[in-house]
Amino acid sequence: MGVPGLTRGLAPYTETAVLGKGDHVPQNMRQISRLTIDGPSLAYHVYNKLLAHHYSKYNKALRWPNYQDIGQATLQLLSDLVETGTDVEALYFDGFLPASKFATRLARLERSRKQIEKFCEGNHINPKATVGAIEIDYNDARWTHLVGPGSACSLPAPPFLVPAVVDALRLSSWESKLHVVAEEADTSCARLAKATGASILSNDSDLLLYDIGDEACVVQLQSLDRHENIGAELRNEITATYIHPPTIARKLKVPSLISPAYEIHKDGSATFGTAVKKARTSKEGQDLCDLEAFAAEYRIGDDRPTAHPLSKLDPRTAELCCQVFQPSATEPKLFLPVLYEDPHGKSAWRCGSAYRQLAYSILASIVSWSRGEVCEYYKKGEAIRPNAVCTLGKMKQAHTVDAVLQLAESASVIPVSSIGWYMTALHVVVQERAGKGWLVDLNRFRALMGCSNGSREAERGLIHLEAQVQAVLYSLRILKQMVDFVLTLDGTNLPDQQPLQSLAHCLSTMPSIPELFTNPSQRQKSVETNSLDVDTLLAPIMSLLPTMRGKATKKTAPLRREDSSTLQGQKGAKQSKDRAGGHGYAAARHNVFDVLHNIG
C-alpha cells in the first residue's frame, strides 16, 4: 500500500527505459521487453488518467469516468504495450491481505467516508459540469499528460473500480494472464520478477522493498509516455522511468531500500536525506526488532500459498474464501467499500444483507470456522463499524434461495439483462421501504433512468436510493461468486447440490460490473436502443408506494414473464421529450445528484 514519500525521495535516482523490442533504442537507455503488472495499481492509474482527461476536455468540469470507460481504456493501454513488442507475463490482483494491513484498510475506508461527507455537504459543484453521455478520445486520455482536478475532486475512486477492471480483463483475451492470487499482488509480482527477470509495472512503492533480484526493476506506471515522430530513434516507442533497487542501495550506501523506508515509516516527518543517514547507522534493541518486523512484511517466501479456484472471483470475495481456509480461521472479515450515498443516512449496505448472509452460509456448508460468523466492515452512521453476520440454518437458507430464484425470474422478464437486474434490485429496495411511509414522485424514479423534467433538485434521497440498488446488486454478485466457488471446489461433498445448481443457473445471467453498474445516461441509452418504455418498467415499483399526492396504491410483485410484451414498441413522443432533458449541458448550478449519478 506504499511508503509515503519513498518514491519522491528516490526520484533523482530514476532512469529512463524503452519498453518493447524496437530496433532503434539509444545506447544510453535500457530496453525492457517483459513485464508483470500490479493489477490494482493499473486500475487506479487508468481511472486517474480518464479523470484528468474529462476535467481538461470539459473546461474543468467535474466528470467521472464510468466503469465501461475504465475497462475499455485499460484494455487499450495493454494493447499499446503489446504493439511495442512488450510481453506482459501476468496481471496480478490481491486475493488476500495480511492481518498487518487491517488498520490501514480501516483508515482508508474512513477517509473515503469523510470524502463523501465533505463532497455532499459542501455541494461545491462547478456550474459548467456536464450531464449525460460524453465522448472520450481514449488515445488522448491514455497518453496526454494532463492535470486532474486535484483538491476540487473530493470524491474517492468508484467503489467497484478494481473488480470492474478484473471483469473487463476476464471477458477479454487477457483472461489467461489474469490472476487473482491468495496473497498480495505485490508479493506475486515480486516472486515472478525474481524468478524470471521480468520487470514490474506499478505505482506502488512497496514493490521497491522486495528482493526482486538484479535483473528486474520497477517501472513507474505514471511515467509511461509514448513518442511519435520525434526522431528516428524514438519513433512510436513507449518510454518510462524505472527504479533498480540494488543499484540505488549501493549509491546510497545502505544494505537495501528497506532501511531508509523503515526510517520514513517510523518518522513520517523525516526527510529522505535524514532517513538515509539514519539507515546507515546500526540498530540494536527494540529498534532492531522493529526493523526486522518491518522487513518481514516484504519477504517473498519460498512457497506459494495454497491455490484455490479464485480466478472467477472478485478480490473482495476471494479474500473471504481464503480466510476461511486458514488453519486458525476464527471470524473472517469482509471490507465493503464506501458507496456514493447520503453520509448521514442509514448505511446502503443494509440492503441486500440477506443475500450476503446466504453467501456466507453456503461457504460455511463446506468449511467451518470457530465462531460461524462473518464480520462485515462498512459505513454505519458517521464511522466505519463492524457488523457480525451469523450463518443461516437449513430452513432459512432454503427460504432465501427461493426468494433469489424469484428475483432472477423477474429479472429475466425484461429483454435487456442489465436493465432487468437493475429494475429487480430497485424493486427490492423500494419494497423494503414501502411500509415506512416513504412518499415518492414518479419523476424521481424516472430520473434514475436518465429521464429529466429539467427541474431536478439536489436530492440526497435519490443518491441514497442509487447506492442501495448497487448494494443489492453487489450482494447478489457476492452470492453468485460464492455459489460458483463452492460448486467448483474439488472434493466438495454436499448432500444436496440441486439448490446450489439452481442458484448458479439463475444468477449466471447477471452481467459484468461495467454492464450492470451503470449511470442514468447509460441506462437511458439502453432503454431507447431496445425500445423499452420507462413508465412500464417502473409501474410495479410505483404500485408499492403511496404517491406524493397521498393516493395509496395496491402492492404488486415485480414484472412477470407474461408482462414482457408491454415493455417494447412504446417509443414515442413521450420518450422523445425525455431525451431532450437527459443530455447536454446544465444551464443552472449543477447539483450533487447530477454528479454522483453520472459516475458509472
pLDDT tens per residue, range 374-433: 999 999 988 999 999 999 998 999 999 999 999 999 999 898 999 999 999 999 999 887
Crossing angle for the helix pair 460-488 and 315-324, to the nearest 10 degrees = 50
Q: What is the mean pLDDT of the chain?
A: 83
C-beta separation of 378 from 470 below 8 A: no
In this prediction, residue 576 carries a pLDDT of: 42
In this prediction, residue 299 carries a pLDDT of: 93
Of 307-316, 318-327, 524-533, where does mean pLDDT reach its minimum?
307-316
Of 112-116, 224-228, 412-416, 575-579, where does mean pLDDT reach its minimum?
575-579
**Which among 403, 383, 400, 382 has a CA at the least distance from the CA of 391?**
400
For the chain, give the percent of residues with pLDDT over 70. Answer: 79
Distance CA 212, CA 196 (A): 10
Backbone angles phi, psi at 377, to 5 degrees: -120, 120
Distance CA 164, CA 68 (A): 8
pLDDT band at 504 (very low <50, low <70, confident <90, very high): very high
For the chain, give the percent of residues with pLDDT over 90. Answer: 57
DSSP state of 490: T
In this prediction, residue 305 carries a pLDDT of: 60
Q: Does domain 6-296 have CATH number 3.40.50.1010?
A: yes
In this prediction, residue 577 carries a pLDDT of: 42
pLDDT band at 234 (very low <50, low <70, confident <90, very high): low
Distance CA 439, CA 549 (A): 9
The DSSP bridge partners found for residue 93 are 180
In this prediction, residue 308 carries a pLDDT of: 65
In this prediction, residue 573 carries a pLDDT of: 40
Whether the pLDDT of residue 233 is over 80: the answer is no
Whether the pLDDT of residue 260 is over 60: the answer is yes
Of 56-70, 200-214, 371-385, where does mean pLDDT reach its minimum?
56-70
In this prediction, residue 140 carries a pLDDT of: 75
In this prediction, residue 153 carries a pLDDT of: 63
Strands 333-335 and 373-380, how do they pair? parallel
Distance CA 412, CA 419 (A): 10
What secondary structure does DSSP assign to 307-346, as a single string? P-S-TTS-HHHHHHHHHHTSTT-SS-EEEPPPPS--TTSP
**Which among 267, 308, 90 has a CA at the least distance from the CA of 188?**
90
Grid coordinates representing 436? Answer: 415506512
Torsion of Cα atoms, 281 then 285 then 291 then 295, to 10° = 120
Whether the pLDDT of residue 65 is over 80: the answer is yes
What's the mean pLDDT in 131-135? 54
The CA angle 550-555-558, to the nearest 5 degrees, is: 125
Grid coordinates representing 401? Answer: 434461495
Grid coordinates representing 247? Answer: 543499484
Whether the pLDDT of residue 523 is over 80: the answer is yes
What secondary structure does DSSP assign to 302-317, as a single string? SSPPPP-S-TTS-HHH
C-beta separation of 64 from 155 below 8 A: yes
Residue type, 218: V
Backbone angles phi, psi at 387, to 5 degrees: -140, 110
DSSP state of 89: E
Distance CA 368, CA 305 (A): 20
Whether the pLDDT of residue 40 is over 90: the answer is yes
Please indicate whether residue 341 or residue 561 has the higher confidence score (pLDDT).
341
Backbone angles phi, psi at 354, to 5 degrees: -65, -35
Within the chain, all domains assigned CATH 3.40.50.1010 are found at 6-296
Whether the pLDDT of residue 310 is over 80: the answer is yes
The DSSP bridge partners found for residue 380 are 383
The Cα-based distances of 15 to 31, 197, 219, 239, 411 in angstroms read: 11, 18, 10, 10, 54
Grid coordinates representing 324? Answer: 476461511
Please indicate whether residue 155 or residue 293 has the higher confidence score (pLDDT).
293
